Amino acid sequence: MSVLRRTTWLLVSIVLVCSGVSCGPSSTVKLSGIGATFPQPLYQQWFQEYSRAHPGVQINYQGTGSGQGIQAVIDKTADFGASDVAMKPEEMEKVSDGVLLLPMTAGSIVLAYHLDDVPELKLTRDAYVGIFLGKITQWDDPKIKAANPDAKLPSKKITVVVRGEASGTTGVFTKHLSTISEEFKKSPGEAKKVNWSKDFVQGNGNPGVVANLTQTANSIGYVEYAFGKEAEKDGKVHMAKLQNKAGEFVAATTESGKAALAAIALPENLIAWGPDPEGKVSYPIVTYTWIICYKNYKDAKKARLLRDVLTFGVTEGQKESEAKGYIPLPDEVVGKVKDAIKNIGPADKG
């Protein structure tokens, strides 16, 4: 954070101390959140940054998976949840205090792989669908070789790494695969948790998948881009270029992610999907990720704090997104989310 921005937020904290959001150690306000690992690195940075600028505020976020984030909101065991997959209408109906789904950032899901002497890899749609159907099992399969004629593809078995728990990343990834493949749509299909091949290796959370990829030669798995970017630093793991709807091989970058988001219209309820975006330069697997709040909180201080924290995340926090490997929200989306945040109740009466 720059000196100017840090100074600005320290000044804001002074105002908030006086207004009751941050009142010092004697009246600490705590928020607890649980859910998606996809945005965890960014959320934790936001919450730590905010807490440093606001004495008396404690925000604890646990990345356990989108499924647990949704369930925690239903069970009322956390102040907010987080998920890469929006709640279903029947899930929302279980929450007596009502829910708001707020897209706070966006990101790409990549296919990260560990292949010695293959720093660049292109995968056609048929190839990566075939890998996750368990039908393409060797790295030198003709469907992989055709797009990579000069690559030193080994005659080795592909070790496929997937998520083991209910995961929003899995939900988004399988939604994409189900959109581009009727065979995948029939089985295993789209879900936060699916019945993968028994031969696949399971990891817990994005960090668990990355750990397996790093430790296992000849492996491939799906992870959020920020985790793939971090994993590349060790030189063992790389991210494949994927063939998009227009037939182009595209790497996951901020620009290709923004192009994909531009093809997704965000409706009034702020829930939108782009399982196979249009555009020659669009990366094919991009998603928003949501923080799930209650419409009404019994504790007015928590409601006031949550409104302020989320406003920080969707405005100042967006400046941290790209460096962390996320896609900054378009200005139009920021405006819609800021308006929706005002609906977190009860309203501040003074």
Strands in the chain per DSSP E:
29-35, 57-63, 80-83, 99-114, 122-123, 159-163, 201-203, 219-224, 237-239, 241-243, 249-250, 286-294
Q: What CATH homologous superfamily does 108-262 map to?
A: Periplasmic binding protein-like II (3.40.190.10)
Rounded Cα distance between 264 and 280, Å, is 15
For residue 35, give every residue at least 6 positions away whose Cβ sits within 8 Å of its Cβ, in sequence order, or none: 62, 63, 64, 65, 66, 68, 69, 70, 72, 81, 82, 83, 168, 292
pLDDT at position 14: 32
CA 348 to chain centre: 31
3-107+289-341 and 108-262: identical CATH topology: yes
Q: To the nearest whole percent, how much of the chain has pLDDT over 90?
A: 90
Rounded Cα distance between 187 and 324, Å, is 34
Q: What's the CA dihedral at 39, 163, 258, 50 to 10 degrees?
A: 0
Q: Rounded mean pLDDT of 105-117? A: 97
Q: Rounded mean pLDDT of 92-120? A: 97
Helix or strand run (H / E) with residue 177: helix 168-180
Task: Choose among 28, 29, 35: nearest CA to 78.
Answer: 35
Amino acid letter at 48? Q
Helix or strand run (H / E) with residue 180: helix 168-180
Q: Rounded mean pLDDT of 168-188? A: 97
Q: How far apart are the first and last CA of the chain?
A: 31
Rounded Cα distance between 153 and 236, Å, is 15
Q: Rounded mean pLDDT of 266-277? A: 94
If pLDDT is split at 50, 70 and 90, which confidence band does 198 have?
A: very high
**Token pair recorded at residue 44:** 């934790």
Task: Choose among 126, 156, 122: nearest CA to 139.
Answer: 156
pLDDT at position 342: 96
If pLDDT is split at 50, 70 and 90, which confidence band does 348 have?
A: low
Q: To the nearest whole percent, how much of the chain has pLDDT over 70?
A: 91
Quick check: 242 and 123 in contact, CB under 8 A?
yes
- The secondary structure of 17-64 as a DSSP string is HHHTS---GGG-EEEEEEE-STTHHHHHHHHHHHHHHSTTEEEEEEE-
What residue ranges do the domains of the chain occupy? 3-107+289-341, 108-262
Q: Model-level pTM?
A: 0.87
The average confidence (pLDDT) of the chain is 92
Say which range, 26-30, 172-176, 253-257, has the weakest mean pLDDT.
26-30
Q: Rounded mean pLDDT of 247-273? A: 95
Higher-confidence residue: 1 or 307?
Answer: 307
Q: Rounded mean pLDDT of 42-67? A: 96
Higher-confidence residue: 14 or 250?
Answer: 250
Query: For 15-43, what is each residue's pLDDT tens digit?
Result: 333 334 444 444 789 999 999 999 999 99
Distances (CA, A) of 234 to 120, 216, 254, 327: 15, 13, 22, 23
User: If one looks up domain 3-107+289-341 in CATH, what number appears?
Assistant: 3.40.190.10
pLDDT at position 27: 74
If pLDDT is split at 50, 70 and 90, which confidence band does 347 have?
A: low
